[in-house]
């Protein structure tokens, strides 16, 4: 073995000079190469601690695992490893209790933690960074943090779906107009409408679940870009940190942010789904519709018009979709021209990611509150049903008598036109009038003009009949593991 990598006897702790300990507390970790001072504005521009301090716990978790790995590689003695881990836990406690004091030289969470560790345990702290780069450290921290946040987000998605299920079961008898082009089309169940949005949230749940294994890959042990020279057991590190696998190329390990792009893309689509739910409920809550009313907890008033009750929660949900999409588009632009390996541009990954995760979390919680407390007005929904919405049922009536649908569609259209001319509802046309259009219309036609029977006829899988809706509910229960 080269003398450069000579192992230190396990029984020996070699102290560093006091000067080096002092240097760790006051200087940049990379400062040995430079003689001139950094522009104060550059220091501020470069400092990411206000953003990445949220990673303090995950940074310490990664460092504890790394301390164990370099002991295993013979770099630390058991005493040194214990001392480092004890010190790291003290640093973590200071962050958790709000007693951590930053200094001007703390560029990021990694340097802050290492600097404070040196103050607590002395020069042995300088051994922790042996063979390790901040490039791999930050990649590890972000993956650990995002893994935890993703699991929380999955729980929020399941919770929202369960709220949709509860309302769909409870209000399964309520009918309402279904719309295409925002024009009344056919009668449906309110529950069917709710579950249509639950379907989007379910696919969001599936996509995020599929993304989790790609987040949960270990970059630790990759060094700055070329790998670790101390025979670090990367499998041991991955197991210590609960990673599912190891990124097997050191260049990729330190520079890969595809998992962040995927998360931001997922978040953009999920916020789009949330925005569409919000838009429907905003429309349905207007006086012109009057189908639903938001709880006071999710509404605000006007500073000028005292009669107003504004759906601000829904409007904010709709608006924040653009915010999240902007984060995704912006970070994609950051990535698109980067050369291989680590570049400082990648520091721009955290702010959009952290804000998107927070926005998604808050949005799912707000939407869950809105849906669970929403008041509905079945009588208004029923009153909005109109007989022309049964024109397709009229066509289907003739289909059952053997007439091709393309003909029945035309015949039904003529019946609708005739009702408009006579200024009556479709159901109020006389049988003789209808026979004048087609002789196959008979007395049993009256059964067509029944909204409940119309929705019950849509009993194929995915339809709006009660049996189909109940089947949807049962499938949702299985997806989220709901008893």
pLDDT in tens, the chain (483 residues): 333 333 333 333 334 344 444 444 445 554 555 455 767 887 777 789 999 999 999 999 999 999 999 999 999 999 999 999 999 999 999 999 999 999 998 999 999 999 999 999 999 999 999 999 999 999 999 999 999 999 999 999 999 999 999 999 999 999 999 999 999 999 999 999 999 999 999 999 999 999 999 999 999 999 999 999 999 999 999 999 999 999 999 999 999 999 999 999 999 999 999 999 999 999 999 999 999 999 999 988 666 666 668 999 999 999 999 999 999 999 999 999 999 999 999 999 999 999 999 999 999 999 999 999 999 999 999 999 999 999 999 999 999 999 999 999 999 999 999 999 999 999 889 999 998 998 899 999 989 999 999 999 999 999 999 999 999 999 999 999 876
**Domains 135-230+257-383 and 387-449 agree in fold:** no
Q: Nearest Cα to 189, choosing from 173, 200, 167, 170?
A: 173
* 425/429 Cα distance (integer angstroms): 7
What is the structure's pLDDT at 169?
97
* 206/342 Cα distance (integer angstroms): 31
Q: Nearest Cα to 264, choosing from 206, 329, 218?
A: 329
Residue in 181, 303, 337, 340 annotated catalytic: 181
Give residue limits of the domains in the chain.
3-29+38-130, 135-230+257-383, 387-449
What is the structure's pLDDT at 39?
77
Q: How many residues does the chain have?
A: 483
DSSP line for 184-208: EEEEEEHHHHHHHHHHHHHHHHHHH
197 catalytic per annotation: no
Pick among 2.30.40.10, 1.10.3660.10, 1.10.275.10, 3.30.950.10: CATH of 3-29+38-130: 1.10.275.10
Residues pairing with 245 in the sheet = 217
Residue for token digits 């716990």? 57
123 catalytic per annotation: no
Residue in 302, 375, 417, 467 annotated catalytic: 302
CATH of domain 135-230+257-383: 1.20.200.10
Give CA 38 to chain center in angstroms.
Answer: 39
* 279/117 Cα distance (integer angstroms): 51
What is the structure's pLDDT at 308?
67
Pick among 3.50.50.60, 3.40.1800.10, 3.40.190.10, 1.10.40.30: CATH of 387-449: 1.10.40.30
* 228/62 Cα distance (integer angstroms): 16
């Amino acid at each position: 073995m080269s003398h450069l990598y000579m192992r230190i006897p396990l029984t020996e702790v070699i102290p560093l000079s006091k000067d080096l300990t002092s240097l760790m507390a006051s200087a940049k970790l990379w400062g040995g190469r430079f003689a001139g001072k950094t522009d104060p504005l550059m220091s501020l521009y470069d400092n990411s601690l206000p953003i990445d301090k949220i990673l303090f716990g995950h940074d310490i978790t990664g460092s504890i695992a790394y301390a164990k790995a370099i002991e295993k590689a013979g770099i630390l003695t058991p005493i040194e490893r214990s001392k480092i881990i004890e010190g790291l836990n003290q640093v973590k406690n200071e962050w958790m209790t709000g007693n951590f004091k930053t200094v001007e030289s703390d560029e990021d969470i990694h340097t802050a933690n290492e600097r404070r560790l040196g103050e607590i345990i002395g020069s042995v702290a300088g051994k922790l960074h042996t063979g390790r780069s901040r490039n791999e450290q930050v990649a590890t921290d972000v993956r650990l943090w995002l893994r935890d946040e993703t699991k929380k987000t999955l729980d929020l998605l399941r919770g929202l779906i369960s709220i949709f299920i509860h309302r769909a079961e409870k209000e399964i008898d309520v009918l309402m107009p279904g719309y295409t082009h925002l024009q009344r089309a056919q009668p449906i169940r309110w529950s069917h409408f709710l579950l249509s949005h639950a379907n989007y949230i379910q696919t969001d749940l599936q996509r995020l679940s599929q993304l989790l294994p790609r987040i949960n890959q270990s970059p630790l042990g990759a060094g700055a870009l070329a790998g670790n020279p101390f025979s670090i057991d990367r499998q041991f590190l991955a197991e210590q940190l609960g990673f599912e696998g190891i990124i097997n190329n050191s260049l990729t390990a330190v520079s890969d942010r595809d998992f962040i792009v995927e998360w931001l893309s997922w978040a953009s689509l999920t916020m789009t789904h949330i925005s569409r739910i919000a838009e429907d409920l905003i429309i349905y809550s207007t006086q012109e519709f009057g189908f639903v009313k938001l709880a006071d907890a999710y509404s605000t008033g006007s500073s000028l018009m005292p009669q107003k009750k504004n759906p601000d929660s829904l409007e904010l949900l709709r608006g924040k979709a653009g915010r999240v999409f902007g984060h995704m588009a912006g970070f994609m632009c950051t990535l698109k021209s980067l050369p291989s390996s680590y570049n400082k541009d990648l520091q721009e990954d955290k702010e959009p990611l952290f804000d998107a995760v927070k926005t998604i979390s808050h949005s799912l919680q707000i939407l869950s509150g809105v849906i669970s407390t929403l008041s509905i007005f079945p009588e208004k929904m029923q009153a909005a049903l109109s007989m022309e919405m049964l024109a397709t049922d009229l066509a289907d009536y003739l289909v059952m008598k053997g007439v091709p649908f393309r003909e029945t569609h035309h015949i039904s259209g003529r019946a609708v036109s005739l009702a408009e001319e006579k200024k009556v509802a479709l159901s109020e046309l006389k049988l003789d009038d209808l026979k004048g259009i087609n002789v196959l219309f008979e007395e049993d036609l009256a059964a067509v003009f029944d909204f409940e029977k119309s929705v019950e006829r849509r009993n194929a899988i995915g339809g709006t009949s009660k049996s189909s809706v109940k089947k949807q509910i049962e499938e949702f229960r299985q997806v989220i593991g709901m008893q």
